[in-house]
Amino acid sequence: MRILQMTDPHLYGRAEGQLRGVETDSSLRAVIDEAFAEVPDFAALLVTGDLVQDDASGYLRFRSIFSAVGQPILCIPGNHDIPEAMSRQLCEPPFQICGTRKIDAWQFVMLDSYDPGHVGGRLTPQELARLDAALASDESHAMVCLHHHPIAMNSRWLDGIGLANADDFWRIIDAHSHVKAVVWGHVHQAYDGSRGSVRLFATPSTCAQFLPASDRYAIDLRPPAYRSFQLHADGGIETQVHWVEAMPARQAAAR
């Protein structure tokens, strides 16, 4: 089964809206064009937060871009989202916000780490309980998705705005051996690691990127990207980050 992840599109209501010099609408569309051509048989698309850049009208744009897609679009909120507007605009298929989704031999658990008034994230006691219950109720291979990074990214400024209660999160993950992967956005860079038997993945944004391993905030001029996963029935995972090189926003990012 093939799954796509696109993250941090940071859309505005206006098509010309730019984040750090990148037009986020045209950048996302370039990523989609390439992803849907390269991986036409995907079973679902994960969008791991920051769908909009603090602009509720961005959800109309998001909806119009994806509404014709036949596969589920599994979304979670990030710190730049506006949860109430997000739920209102993306309330019907193909969109799903948080919750769980079972596809073939895999269960996807989408968590809400949005913490009002904070750039960093936090899982509420209710959300932690929901995670624990979802994993306890289904022994399928699990992929757990959240916006904020639950591990240190070796980057001082980013590590101050990750998941505040990561210890609580890992206590639950560690208690369920069928969790195969934890996947996040927020960090606008690629990461591929592991913690015990759990694979860990971060994915670059569909717009501007952050420089990896930088102690201070810094932009990376790498192009937009998405990630593809091949999830096997035995729990095995193959994955790849696809950088979308043919993207005019790259020059704009240098401004």
Q: Considering beta carbons, is residue 50 or 112 the nearer one to Fe ion? A: 50
Query: Segment contacting Fe ion (CB under 5 A): 50-58, 125-133, 134-142, 209-217?
Result: 50-58
Query: Shortest approach of Fe ion to residue 9 CB, angstroms?
Result: 9
Q: Considering beta carbons, is residue 107 or 150 the nearer one to Fe ion? A: 150
Beta strand extents in 117-196 (DSSP E only): 141-146, 179-184, 191-195
Residues 190-209 that bind Fe ion (CB under 5 A): none
- What are the phi and psi torsion angles at 184 (to 5°)? -140, 175
Pick from 50, 81, 112, 127 the residue near Fe ion by CB under 5 A: 50
Pick from 6, 8, 26, 28 the residue near Fe ion by CB under 5 A: 8
CA dist list (Å): 53 to 10, 11, 18, 28, 137: 4, 6, 9, 13, 35
Query: Segment contacting Fe ion (CB under 5 A): 3-11, 51-59, 206-214, 229-237?
Result: 3-11
Query: How far is 203 from 192, CA to CA, in rounded Å?
Result: 9
* Helix, strand, coil percent values for the chain (each to nearest 5): 25, 30, 45
Q: Is 23 in the site for Fe ion (CB under 5 A)?
A: no
Query: Segment contacting Fe ion (CB under 5 A): 1-9, 24-32, 59-67, 166-174?
Result: 1-9
Q: How many residues belong to the site for Fe ion (CB under 5 A)?
A: 2
Query: How far is 232 from 2, CA to CA, in rounded Å?
Result: 9
Q: Considering beta carbons, is residue 183 or 198 the nearer one to Fe ion? A: 183
Query: How far is 189 from 7, CA to CA, in rounded Å?
Result: 10
Q: Considering beta carbons, is residue 102 or 156 the nearer one to Fe ion? A: 156
Residues 104-163 that bind Fe ion (CB under 5 A): none
Angle, CA 105 vertex, CA 132 and CA 149 arms, to 5° = 45
- Does the bond joining 212 to the residue before it have cis omega, within 30 degrees of 0? no
Q: Considering beta carbons, is residue 8 or 23 the nearer one to Fe ion? A: 8
Q: Considering beta carbons, is residue 141 or 149 the nearer one to Fe ion? A: 149
The answer to whether 48 and 245 have CB atoms below 8 angstroms apart is no
* Binding stretches for Fe ion (CB under 5 A): 8, 50
